Amino acid sequence: MQIETVIAGFGGQGVLFTGKVLAYAAMNEGLEVTWFPSYGPEMRGGTANCVVVFSDEEIGSPQVLNPKAAIVMNQPSLEKYEQLVQKDGFLVINSSMVNREVKRDDIKIINIPGTDLAEALSDKRFTNIILLGGLVANSDFFPLKKIEKALGKSLKGKKGEMLELNIKALYKGASYKVQ
């Protein structure tokens, strides 16, 4: 089993953090993991994406041509990754930032108004974890409790104050189902 996931959006949307949480969940399961971030020199506001590959066998390359899943946080990311997701794969869309329907009918689509939900929780920075919750709840990658544990590992020190709200965000996204 090898699962490849792309998380994509603008810098500052928590793309790399989301990949880190997913990678920690896989490591906690004893799986082989690669976490491969990519972002423009602008960082905040520039493009950002992250590829996470996890497997029960050695991983040959962190590069991914056709991921099993993609979380797209904005319109440019949808344009770039929609056609690359494997048939029967997952496409999680932040519908708060995307203004068109998906053109494919051979993938599992999860539309979540992530930014709107995050703002209702108090801060749009929770959008990434809301979208991750949607992916995890609809796939068989990990139980949500494994992502909770990975969030705890990722939010240490002063950031630990954010754990409870991140867990609420995770479950808010988990309530959205494949359309």
Task: Give the burial string for 73-105 (b: 16+ CB within 10 Å, else e).
Answer: bbeebbeebbeebbeebbbbbbbbbbeeebeee
Please report the pLDDT score of residue 41 as a whole number.
60
Please report the pLDDT score of residue 44 as a whole number.
57
Please report the pLDDT score of residue 35 as a whole number.
95
The domains of the chain are located at: 2-174
The stretch 165-172 carries a mean pLDDT of 96
Please report the pLDDT score of residue 23 as a whole number.
96
Q: How far is CA 107 from CA 19, 68, 70, 83, 110, in A?
A: 21, 10, 11, 10, 10
Partnered with residue 91 across adjacent β-strands are 70, 109
**pLDDT at 55 > cutoff 70:** yes
Please report the pLDDT score of residue 156 as a whole number.
79
**pLDDT at 42 > cutoff 70:** no
Beginning with the edge strand found earlier in the chain, give each strand of the sheet holding 2-10 in spatial order.
32-39, 47-55, 2-10, 69-72, 90-94, 108-112
Please report the pLDDT score of residue 11 as a whole number.
81
Question: Whose structure tokens read 């969940």?
Answer: 25
**pLDDT at 138 > cutoff 60:** yes
- Which pair of tokens denotes residue 74? 């904005």
**Cβ–Cβ under 8 Å, residues 159 and 123:** no
- Which pair of tokens denotes residue 95? 């519908």
- Judged by average pLDDT, the poorest of 34-48, 76-90, 159-173 is 34-48
DSSP letters for 106-141:
SSEEEEE-HHHHHHHHT-GGGHHHHHHHHHHHHSSS
**pLDDT at 34 > cutoff 90:** yes
CATH topology of domain 2-174: Pyruvate-ferredoxin Oxidoreductase; domain 3 (3.40.920)
**pLDDT at 16 > cutoff 60:** yes
**pLDDT at 15 > cutoff 90:** yes
Please report the pLDDT score of residue 161 as a whole number.
79
The stretch 73-82 carries a mean pLDDT of 95
Please report the pLDDT score of residue 111 as a whole number.
97
Please report the pLDDT score of residue 46 as a whole number.
65
Question: Whose structure tokens read 């930014």?
Answer: 115
